[in-house]
């Protein structure tokens, strides 16, 4: 249960389940919204572009968190569904003349359905074998279907270019980093809010029951297969949102953006952030992105003395990421979100220890 200060009490269940119960929390959230909304006013373009990567990482990892962290279905093919979202949205805008929001909606829906297809085996298998089937989604979707067939649609070779101005929302062109930032921020907020609430419903509780023990959940009357597929669908839709947000920021779409490495990367994000926590998604995304940027900043001056560093940066990045995961699994296995919780407890319980 969340910590409440003295004098906070409720006369209805609705009030006692409200997200933001005290003025302190409301002020905190208002400050966060204010910070996100005004960031472009004082931050330079570089910071905004990093923020965009953070938001995209959050949106990408959100679906993984749902599947792995809340429903217990380990996935290593999530980038495939992000790709479906991105490609369907792009094709909708480029070839079918759909307005961007409608195309994005279609992208989310198809990504969700496509995810259900690869969720089907989960009715029979779990654990290690399931990881293999989700990896199959990665290879079949991105390396086979998209690379060999979809990319050739329209004769643009391996990528679809989306020149600035192609993507508009009701006449408002999304053609700059700042605009992408706002689009991503709004969608991230909506997705977080939606998932947070979904997890408190009957559906969310069913997922958590399946994660904790699928046999017990079934014994209690949870339709395990239906809820697993629903989890795959919801995760796919969230991936679709990530894909739709991704395309305006790069002006083109390419299969290279949705490789297995990205699927692994976002699993790493939730491992570092904390499995089974929405805070974890945010903390993990911020942590890995910012660490990576700091690493880059460190490499640039060093490159003068060791030019090889620039060439090998790509490997350095992967190595740092791997090291981070190893260290987290060793010393902080419950992720940053747990540490955050502990920190809050420390001050909430002050000056006691319990």
Partner 1 sequence: MNTPHAAESRPITPDLTLPKLLLETAQRYGDGKVAMREKEFGIWRPITWRRYRDEVRHLAVGFAALGLRAGDKVALIGHNRPELLWAEMAALAVGGVVVWLYQDALLDEVQYVVDHSDARFLIGEGQQEVDKGLAVKARCPKLERIIWDDPKGLRGYDDPALMSLAEVRRLGQEADAEDPGAFARTVARGRGDDVALLFYTSGTTAKPKGALLTHTNMLKMGQNLMAVDPCGERDDFVSFLPFSWIGEQMMSVSCGLQAGFTLNFPEDPETVQHDIREIGPQVLFSPPRIYEQMVRTVQVKVLDAPALKRRVYGWARKVGDEVAERAFAKKPIPGGLRLKYRLADLLVFRKLRDHLGLARIRHAYSGGAALGPDHLRFFHGIGVNLKQIYGQTEIAGISVVHRDGDVKFDTSGLPIPETEIRISAEGEILSRSPCVFKGYYKMPEETARTLNDGWLHSGDIGFLDGEGHLVVFDRRKDVMTLADGSRFSPQFIETRLKFSPYIKDAWVIGHQRNAVTAVVCIDAGVVGKWAEEHHIPYTSYPELSQKGEVRALVAQAVGHVNQGLPAAARIQRFVNLHKEFDADDEELTRTRKLRRAFLEERYRDVVAGLYSGSGDIELDTTVTYEDGRVSHSKTTLSAVDAPGA
Residue with smaller CB distance to partner 1, 9 or 331: 9
Interface pattern 323-352 for partner 1 (x via CB under 8 A)? ---------------------------xxx
Answer yes or no: are the C-beta atoms of 281 and 123 closer than 8 Å: no
Return the residue of 12, 42, 128, 301 that touches partner 1, per CB under 8 A: 12
10 binds partner 1 (CB under 8 A): yes
23 binds partner 1 (CB under 8 A): no
What 3-state class would DSSP assign to 173?
strand
Return the residue of 9, 42, 128, 149 that touches partner 1, per CB under 8 A: 9
The nearest distance, CB 3 to partner 1, in angstroms, is 10
Residue with smaller CB distance to partner 1, 12 or 23: 12
Candidate ranges 6-14, 50-58, 191-199, 218-226; the one touching partner 1 (CB under 8 A): 6-14
* DSSP per residue, 108-153: HHHHHHHHHHHHGGGGT--THHHHHHHHHHHIIIIIIIIHHTGGGG
6 binds partner 1 (CB under 8 A): yes
- What b/e readout covers 310-320, taking b as 16+ CB neighbours within 10 angstroms? eeeeeebbeee
What 3-state class would DSSP assign to 253?
strand
Q: How is residue 65 annotated by DSSP?
A: I
The nearest distance, CB 1 to partner 1, in angstroms, is 10
Q: Supply the angle between the helices 78-94 and 45-64 in degrees, to the nearest 10.
A: 120
Q: How far apart are CA 116 and CA 168, in angstroms?
A: 30
The nearest distance, CB 12 to partner 1, in angstroms, is 6
Contacting positions for partner 1 (CB under 8 A): 4-13, 15-16, 350-354
């Amino acid at each position: 249960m969340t910590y409440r200060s003295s004098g906070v009490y409720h006369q209805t269940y609705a009030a006692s389940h409200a997200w933001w119960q005290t003025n302190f929390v409301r002020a905190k959230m208002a400050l966060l919204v204010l910070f996100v909304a005004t960031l472009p006013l004082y931050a330079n373009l570089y910071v905004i572009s990093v923020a965009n990567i953070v938001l995209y990482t959050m949106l990408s990892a959100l679906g993984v968190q749902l599947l792995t962290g809340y429903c217990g279905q380990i996935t290593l093919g999530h980038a495939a569904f992000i790709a479906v979202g991105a490609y369907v949205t792009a094709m909708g805008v480029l070839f079918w003349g759909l307005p961007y929001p409608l195309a994005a909606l279609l992208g989310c829906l198809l990504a969700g359905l496509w995810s259900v297809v690869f969720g089907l085996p989960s009715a029979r298998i779990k654990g290690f074998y399931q990881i293999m089937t989700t990896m199959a989604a990665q290879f079949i979707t991105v390396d086979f279907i998209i690379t060999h067939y979809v990319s050739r649609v329209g004769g643009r070779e391996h990528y679809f270019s989306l020149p600035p101005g192609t993507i508009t929302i009701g006449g408002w062109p999304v053609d700059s980093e700042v605009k992408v930032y706002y689009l991503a921020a709004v969608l991230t907020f909506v997705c977080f809010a939606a998932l947070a609430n979904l997890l408190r419903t009957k559906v969310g509780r069913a997922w958590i029951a399946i994660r904790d023990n699928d046999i017990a959940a079934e014994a209690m009357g949870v339709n395990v297969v239906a809820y697993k597929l629903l989890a795959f669908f919801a995760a796919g839709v969230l991936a679709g949102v990530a894909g739709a947000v991704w395309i305006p920021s790069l002006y083109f779409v390419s299969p290279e953006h949705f490789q297995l490495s990205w699927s692994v990367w976002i699993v790493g994000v939730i491992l570092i952030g904390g499995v089974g926590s929405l805070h974890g998604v945010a903390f993990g995304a911020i942590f890995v992105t910012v660490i990576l940027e700091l690493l880059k900043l460190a490499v640039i001056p060093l490159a003068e003395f060791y030019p090889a560093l620039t060439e090998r940066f790509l490997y350095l990045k992967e190595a740092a990421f791997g090291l981070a995961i190893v260290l987290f699994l060793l010393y902080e296995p419950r992720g940053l979100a747990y540490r955050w919780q502990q920190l809050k407890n420390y001050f909430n319980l002050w000056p006691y220890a319990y």
